[in-house]
Structure 1
Amino acid sequence: MRTQQILCPTDFSETASHAISYAIEMANFYNVGICLLHVVDKPFGDKYTRVLAVTPDELIERMEREAADKMQQFIDSFDIYFPFESKICHGHPVEKILATEKNINAGMIVMASHGRTGLEHFLNANTAEEVANKAKCPVLIVK
């Protein structure tokens, strides 16, 4: 951990922003970098109509462009300067987070939890929990 980059998956939510503050603090302490990762989930249709009006490749390209814009706005929203490496990919979030962990040889993953409980937790896949169970490095889940 002390010499390896911190992987910080983000969905651009307020909770993800909170998790990144923890990642920045740890990165400063250990003098390591941070890799911000956003995974564009598999497209299933236009965000307004949910009808696929363009080819899947065009939709993925548009979603990745929008994600890149959001990523830059997200990085710009921090009060302090910190050099982030950023990655955007598409696919299943857990698979892509774990693949990125392996590819960059992450020393730690810091990510947000959506804090679901009860029936909502049972019915919705919990990305943070699955990453924590399958990751090879330590995982800090921030609420």
Structure 2
Amino acid sequence: MYDTILVPTDGSDRARTAARHALALADAYGATIHALSVIDAGDLGLWTSSDVPVEQVQDGLRDTARTAVEEIAALSEADSVVCETDVRIGVPAREILAVADDIDADLVVMATHGRTGLEHAILGSTTERVVRLSDVPVLTVRA
């Protein structure tokens, strides 16, 4: 049923909780996990002051993203599940959907942030966008 499971991660506890659900499914179905971290292109300008080179900010964000996917890979290894990792820069929901298409994912497993009210209305939800636009099933996991 599931051969390829995409697990977007930002390195948070919520994302690790979602990854554990994905790993259980991957173990049960003999699936491969694809851990993905997306550096939000919109965040690059927010973190860049005039005295800090953009490249330095990008390198720091890349390091954080690599650490996030490597954590999922370590969990996968402990569970004897094959895991591939990827880091991209872009609009998170678009990148998640593009990767799901590129790897022919059977399932996307991702965390929700639990935002409500005004915060949800202003910030929106990457998970919500993925759920609405995905061609494959999306399992959402609340922390």
Give the alignment's TM-score, normalised by structure 2.
0.85
Structure with greater helix percent: 2
Post-superposition Cα deviations, 1:77-114, rounded to whole Å, max 9, x if no partner, equal 67644331111111110110011011000001000000
Question: Deviating runs (4+, > 6 A) in structure 1?
Answer: none
Where in structure 1 are there 5+ consecutive unaligned residues? Answer: none
Please give the secondary structure, in 2, of the residue aligned with 1:7: strand
Residue 19 of structure 2 aligns with which residue? 20
Q: 1:7 to 1:77 in 2, by over 3 A?
A: closer
Give the alignment's TM-score, normalised by structure 1.
0.85
Counterpart Cα distance in 1 of 2:59 and 2:100? 24
Residue 63 of structure 2 aligns with which residue? 65
Which segment is superposed worse, 81-90 or 63-72? 63-72
Please give the secondary structure, in 1, of the residue aligned with 2:45: coil
Counterpart Cα distance in 1 of 2:71 and 2:59? 19
Q: How far is the alpha carbon of 1:118 from its aligned partner? A: 1.8
Q: How far is the alpha carbon of 1:67 from its aligned partner? A: 2.1
Counterpart Cα distance in 2 of 1:27 and 1:80? 10
Q: 1:104 to 1:15 in 2, by over 3 A?
A: same
Number of residue equivalences:
138
Where in structure 2 are there 5+ consecutive unaligned residues? Answer: none
